[in-house]
């Protein structure tokens, strides 16, 4: 496997991360970027979330993919390079290998170690597909190395990860995808608005896997910042923000406490919240508008019978 400067990317961005984390923790309303959820344990916990019956996005998207596989592959066409954004365990992309027959596959994820393991396994199974992987934080800037096939690029952004971003950030990422597609396209999965009860069950599951996933961010932050967060002093909180059409994840302090790290500290009062994630929900109209604003002119859309989720091919 050709690993494109995975180590280099990880090391050069580490210093920047401490500063970014500190700014978020010192803000009046404290926040931590959701990308820090995905340390090696966090990536495993997320995979566990996708196996929960309450977490409908993964299963619903999978059903849309299999129900409409012929139409989707027809729209995209075979060949080219499949670029998997936030590839994780690479299972979703793999489900398209036999139909899309990509010449090469580029997997990108913030969680570099977890990704490398997954891609190594895939390589053995598909020796005819050239595979590469990059550990990259594309939340602020997406730059596909020019060494990656200059032919048609098919970007694959499933799972509604776009939902993590505020509209201006999402627009920026989608515009960068559009401008680097080499006349290819984007296959994207987007979560749609639905009843609160379904959302609450999905983001506050009774087995508490999502709580563990959310709380684990504190351990991930301790490693990046050398801070002394104690997981047992916080609990997982979920709010639905109807005005902004999103699920919001927080960690709530269970007592008055102080977190310290080299050079600084932050007090939290009992009940105070640290924001960790936004998960925006779209309508067909709002996601179409966003894709149009990013420069995509043509969209083909597939949904499930309950209209819980949408899969869109944008060109």
Residues forming the site for ligand AVJ (CB under 6 A): 49, 57, 159-161, 163-164, 203, 210, 277, 279
Q: How far apart are CA 256 and CA 181, in angstroms?
A: 50
Q: What is the secondary structure of 160-210 as a DSSP string?
A: TGGGGS-HHHHHHHHHHHHHTSTT-EEEEEEEBP--HHHHHHHHS-TT-HH
Which is nearer to ligand AVJ, 200 or 257 (by Cβ)?
200
Which is nearer to ligand AVJ, 76 or 170 (by Cβ)?
170
CB of 200 to ligand AVJ, least distance (A): 12
Which is nearer to ligand AVJ, 129 or 240 (by Cβ)?
240
Q: List the structure tokens of 70.
A: 């012929």
CB of 215 to ligand AVJ, least distance (A): 12
* Residue 144 DSSP SS3: coil
Q: How far apart are CA 290 and CA 14, in angstroms?
A: 32
Which is nearer to ligand AVJ, 149 or 190 (by Cβ)?
190
Which is nearer to ligand AVJ, 157 or 302 (by Cβ)?
157
Which is nearer to ligand AVJ, 24 or 86 (by Cβ)?
86
CB of 234 to ligand AVJ, least distance (A): 16
CB of 315 to ligand AVJ, least distance (A): 23
Burial class for 23, CB neighbours closer than 10 Å (0-12, 13-18, 19+)? exposed
CB of 226 to ligand AVJ, least distance (A): 26
Pairing, β 246-253 against β 234-241: antiparallel
Among 155, 145, 147, smallest CA distance to 181 is for 155
**Is the Cα dihedral 184, 103, 176, 166 positive or negative?**
positive
For 303, phi and psi rounded to 5 degrees? -130, 175
Residue whose CB is nearest to ligand AVJ in the complex, by number: 279
Per-residue DSSP letter, 282: B
Residue with tokens 């899309």: 100
- Between helices 167-179 and 284-293, what is the axis angle to 10°? 50
CB of 201 to ligand AVJ, least distance (A): 11
Which is nearer to ligand AVJ, 261 or 309 (by Cβ)?
309
239: Cα within 13 Å, side-chain hemisphere = 14
Which is nearer to ligand AVJ, 203 or 261 (by Cβ)?
203
CB of 168 to ligand AVJ, least distance (A): 18
Residue with tokens 């495993």: 44
CB of 202 to ligand AVJ, least distance (A): 7
Q: List the structure tokens of 64.
A: 């849309």
């Amino acid at each position: 496997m050709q690993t494109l400067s995975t180590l280099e990317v990880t090391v050069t961005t580490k210093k920047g991360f401490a500063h970014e984390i500190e700014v978020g923790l010192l803000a009046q309303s404290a926040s931590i970027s959701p990308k820090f959820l995905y340390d090696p344990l966090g990536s495993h916990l997320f995979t566990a979330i996708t196996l929960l019956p309450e977490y409908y996005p993964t299963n619903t998207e999978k059903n849309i993919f299999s129900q409409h596989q012929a139409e989707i592959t027809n729209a995209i066409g075979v060949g080219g390079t499949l670029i998997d954004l936030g590839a994780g365990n690479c299972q979703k992309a793999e489900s398209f290998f036999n139909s899309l027959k990509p010449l090469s596959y580029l997997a990108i994820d913030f969680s570099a170690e977890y990704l490398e393991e997954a891609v190594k396994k895939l390589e053995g199974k598909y020796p005819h597909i050239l595979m590469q992987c990059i550990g990259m934080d594309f939340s602020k800037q997406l730059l596909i190395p020019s060494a990656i096939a200059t032919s048609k690029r098919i970007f694959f952004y499933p799972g509604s990860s776009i939902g993590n971003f505020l509209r201006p950030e999402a627009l920026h990422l989608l515009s960068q995808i559009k401008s680097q597609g080499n006349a290819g396209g984007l296959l994207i999965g987007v979560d749609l608005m639905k009843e609160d009860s379904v959302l609450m069950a999905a983001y506050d599951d009774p087995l508490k896997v999502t709580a563990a996933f959310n709380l684990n961010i504190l351990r991930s932050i301790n490693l990046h910042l050398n801070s002394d967060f104690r997981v047992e002093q916080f609990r997982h909180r979920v709010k639905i923000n109807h005005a902004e059409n999103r699920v919001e994840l927080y960690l709530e302090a269970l007592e008055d406490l102080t977190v310290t790290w080299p050079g600084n500290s932050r007090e939290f009062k009992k009940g105070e919240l640290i924001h960790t994630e936004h998960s925006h929900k779209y309508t067909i109209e709002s996601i179409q508008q966003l894709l149009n604003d990013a420069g995509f002119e043509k969209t083909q859309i597939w949904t499930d019978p309950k209209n819980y989720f949408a899969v869109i091919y944008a060109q």
